[in-house]
Amino acid sequence: MTKPVLTPLAQSLPASVPFVGPEAAERASGKPFIARLGANENTFGPSPRAISAMQKAASEVWMYGDPESFELRNALAAHHGIAPENIMVGEGIDTLLGVLVRLYVGQGDAVVTSDGAYPTFNYHVAGFGGELHKVPYVDDHEDPASLIVKAREVEAKLIYIANPDNPMGTWHSADVINQMIADIPDGSLLVLDEAYIEMAPEGTAPEMQVDNPNLIRMRTFSKAYGMAGARVGYAIGAAEVIDAFNKVRNHFGMCRISQAGALAALKNSDWLAHVQSEIITARETIKQIAADNGLTTIPSATNFVAIDCGQDGAFARRVLAALLEDGIFARMPFVAPQDRCIRVSCGTPEQMDAFKKALPVALQKRGATAW
């Protein structure tokens, strides 16, 4: 009896995971991490109101979630001053990106991104047979002008940029992004990933432009709202762009517990302000820890900080490995020259103390001496 055969595209792809989870690393080491600072999770946690709402919703989990996320979409619309028709809720930005690529990218279609930018987007493009075209970072920033030039050159269906950026934490002003939006080539859709926008300085986010069919923005409850495990993201765009999601999305993908938590979190602005303050403090702490060890940091508008280890990627990987050995989970950029850095998420005072103790030991193990 013959088995079913994978499609030629599926056969051509390697089995891969864009990010190895901390749980897998813990299983490999045989011990739990002391400080989980590698996944850009918000260790300050979700709003107490969100926790309470999710606890209540847990008793109702025998029911499916609302396939239209009606209440949450309407609350988000009021929050942003737009119409519910301009919002699509999904299981995190990762899933929304996958649906978006499925809608617009066929075999051989060109997609433009930065070399070293968010790898999950690339994973989706490969999965639907798209052809990735990459441009380099400039001074540790994604380069909007180069992305637009490349998009024109290859007639890209999608152009991806994250602002603020992952993995470097850098950002562009709204004026720069607005110019990029104005320069979008005909036939292209700009994917503006704003997962970290709530942590960025005033003047980073452009005004809403929901009448522009060449722009889609991605937001999430995973970062500033502290709900990474609940998987709640949303897209903002022109009504016809948003409505296209209904052609192929998983209509019952949203858990009602997650929907309830996100709705409560959105209404608790005081907790968001508290988290924003904690992140600012933690960024300064990471900067000081790096300086105490003779290292510099990249200015960040996110809940993580890239620390320049001062040498090449091979050295940074050795430092990262030493941190992992000592129970500190961190990550690093994948592509040179950004891979000279390690990336450390903002953590609680206890986690920051653990990192402070581990970093000089890791540097000494790998042949560097702290100042």
Which pLDDT does position 339 carry in this prediction?
A: 98
Query: With 90 as the cut, is the pLDDT of residue 371 above it?
Result: no
Q: Which two tokens stand for residue 40?
A: 């850009």
User: What SS3 class is residue 132?
Assistant: strand
Planar angle of CA 251, 255, 257, nearest 5 degrees: 150
Residue of 291, 295, 261 whose CA lies nearest to 46:
261
Whole-number pLDDT of residue 1? 84
Q: Which fold has domain 18-45+270-365?
A: Aspartate Aminotransferase, domain 1 (3.90.1150)
User: What is the crossing angle of helices 269-292 and 349-365, to 10°?
Assistant: 30
205-230 as b/e: b if 16+ CB within 10 A: bbeebbebebbbbbbbbbbbbbbbeb
Q: Please tell me the predicted confidence (pLDDT) of residue 251.
A: 96
Q: CA 191, CA 98: separation in Å to the nearest integer?
A: 12
Q: Predicted confidence band at 367 (pLDDT cuts at 50, 70, 90)? A: low
Cβ contact 60:354 at 8 Å: no
From 56, 40, 83, 106, select the one nearest 347 (Cα to Cα).
Answer: 40
Q: How far apart are CA 208 and CA 215, in angstroms?
A: 10
Q: Are 271 and 279 in contact (CB under 8 A)?
A: no
Assigned architecture for domain 48-267: 3-Layer(aba) Sandwich (3.40)
Separation of alpha carbons 260 and 71, rounded Å:
9
Q: What's the first-to-final CA gap in the chain, in angstroms?
A: 67
Antiparallel, parallel or unpaired: β 189-193 and 215-220: parallel
Tens digit of pLDDT for each residue in 19-55? Answer: 888 999 899 889 999 999 999 999 999 999 999 999 9
CA–CA distance, 106 with 86 (Å, rounded to integer): 25
Burial (0-12, 13-18, 19+ Cβ within 10 Å), 334: middle
pLDDT at 173 over 60: yes
What integer pLDDT is reported at residue 236 of this predicted model? 98
Whole-model pTM: value is 0.96
Per the document, the length of the chain is: 371
What is the C-alpha separation between 351 and 53, in angstroms, rounded?
28
Is residue 368 predicted with pLDDT exceeding 80? no
Domain ranges of the chain: 18-45+270-365, 48-267
Average pLDDT, the chain: 96
Q: Buried b / exposed e across 114-126, counting CB within 10 Å, b at 16+? A: bbbbbbbbbbbbb
| 307-362: pLDDT as tens digits | 999 999 999 999 999 999 999 999 999 999 999 999 999 999 999 999 999 999 99
What distance in Å separates the CA atoms of residue 313 and residue 335, rounded to the nearest whole number?
A: 8
Q: Is 108 exposed, middle or buried (0-12, 13-18, 19+ CB in 10 A)?
A: exposed
**Region 236-247: what's the mean pLDDT?**
98
pLDDT one-digit tens code per residue, 46-101:
999 999 999 999 999 999 999 999 999 999 999 999 999 999 999 999 999 999 99
Query: What pLDDT, on a 0 to 100 scale, did the predictor assign at position 19?
Result: 83
- Give tens-digit pLDDT for 251-305: 999 999 999 999 999 999 999 999 999 999 999 999 999 999 999 999 999 999 9
Residue 166 confidence class, pLDDT cut points 50, 70, 90:
very high
* Confidence check: pLDDT of 369 > 60: no
Q: How would you label 252-272 residue by residue, b for 16+ Cβ within 10 Å and e otherwise?
A: ebbbbbbbbbbbbbbbbeebb
**pLDDT band for position 16 (cuts 50, 70, 90):** confident
Q: Residue 293: phi, psi to the nearest 5?
A: -110, 20
| Residue for token pair 């024109």 | 152
pLDDT value of residue 330:
97
